[in-house]
Amino acid sequence: MQHVRWYDKNSNLKEIFEYMAELDENVQTQIGQDILQILVNDFNLNLDEKINKITQDYNYECKRWYDNNIDLFISFAIIKDLSEGLQNEIVKKIVESILFIYIEGEINE
């Protein structure tokens, strides 16, 4: 029996997270920071208390691909607790963020 990760329950999250796992670490960090901004700006979530709690509970024993990136770790911990509908909206924003990062990168080269 295969262990089911929390995001395997949402096929959209699973697909985008698996894609992100293969990206360059710098791009992953940019995306993690973008996700936090998206959660605050686009979804009007007040995250100060939640982020403080997550960072206090941060496990420095990194077992998952995103554990060694604090921005992704925090973002994913927040996304984990959202409704499936909100998760799907965030997936759309993550795709936009990835496209923007790559388009902007090509323009600046």
Question: Is this prediction's pTM over 0.95?
Answer: no
Domain extent, residue 75, equals: 6-108
Whether 15 maps to a domain, the answer reads yes
1, part of any domain: no
User: In this structure, what are the phi and psi dihedrals at residue 45, rounded to the nearest 5 degrees?
Assistant: -90, 135
The answer to whether position 101 is within a domain reads: yes
What value does the mean pLDDT take over residues 36-60?
77
User: Cα–Cα distance between 82 and 78 in angstroms, integer?
Assistant: 7
- Asked if the structure places residue 65 within a domain, the reply is yes
For the segment 8-47, what is each residue's pLDDT rounded down to a tens digit? 999 999 999 999 999 999 999 999 999 988 888 887 777 7
Q: How high is the pLDDT of residue 49? A: 77
Say yes or no to pLDDT of 55 above 80.
no
Number of domains composing the chain: 1
